[in-house]
Amino acid sequence: MLDIIIRSALDVVGRTERLVEAIRRLLQSDDLDEVEVYELDYEIERLGDVVCNVDEAVRSLARTVECWPQTVFAHEIRRTLH
């Protein structure tokens, strides 16, 4: 189940990064007025920050999940020794 959550979250991060790049190209096309450009630029920055935080959190979750079997094994050894 956690594998599905991690893969799905990383997929969302990738899609969002592609969306941000597409919007940046749109901003450079000069089809928008100054207010629209400013608003889009501001939202891109906010979205980029959120995606970066989500990416970091998901990768941290993935590392934690990878360590769980080692943690359980180490805990069982300590319980056995005491």
pLDDT in tens, 31-75: 778 888 788 888 888 888 888 888 888 888 888 877 766 655 555
Q: Tokens 């300590």 correspond to what residue?
A: 78
Residue 31 pLDDT = 79
Q: Is the per-residue pLDDT at 3 higher than 50? A: yes
| The predicted structure's pLDDT at residue 74 | 56
- Alpha carbons 13 and 44: distance in angstroms, whole number: 14
Distance CA(58)–CA(5), nearest Å, equals 9
Give the pLDDT mean for 16-29: 82
- Kindly indicate the confidence band of residue 28, based on its pLDDT and cuts at 50, 70 and 90: confident
